[in-house]
Amino acid sequence: MLRRKPTRLELKLDDIEEFESVRKDLENRKKQKEDVEVVGGSDGEGAIGLSSDPKSREQMINDRIGYKPQPKPNNRSSQFGSFEF
């Protein structure tokens, strides 16, 4: 493997301005997202971390991913079909 001298990087004014604009844009998006969560928090759909009830957190996650759990039947005929014992 060839060794070479380290490349020197120069920070230009254009780079700094681009960084500042991207950072401000990300901050604005974050504020908008927080505002949406605060507005959505009034009907119970807000931030997950604020809910202390694990059932509601689990329900919110299931709703978000589209999972609808079906209750498991407790009788043997539904588990093994129509076999006679």
Query: Residue 44 has what pLDDT?
Result: 47
Average pLDDT rounded to a whole number, residues 10-28:
94
Distance CA 55, CA 61 (A): 10
Could you say which DSSP state residue 82 is in?
A: S
More confident residue, 81 or 62: 62
Contacts of 76 (CB under 8 A, 6+ apart): 85
CA distance 35 to 30: 9
Q: Which of 5-14, 52-61, 75-84 has the lowest mean pLDDT?
A: 75-84
- Residue 11 has what DSSP assignment? -
What is the rounded average pLDDT of the residues 74-80?
61
In the structure, what pLDDT confidence band is assigned to residue 15 with cuts at 50, 70 and 90?
very high
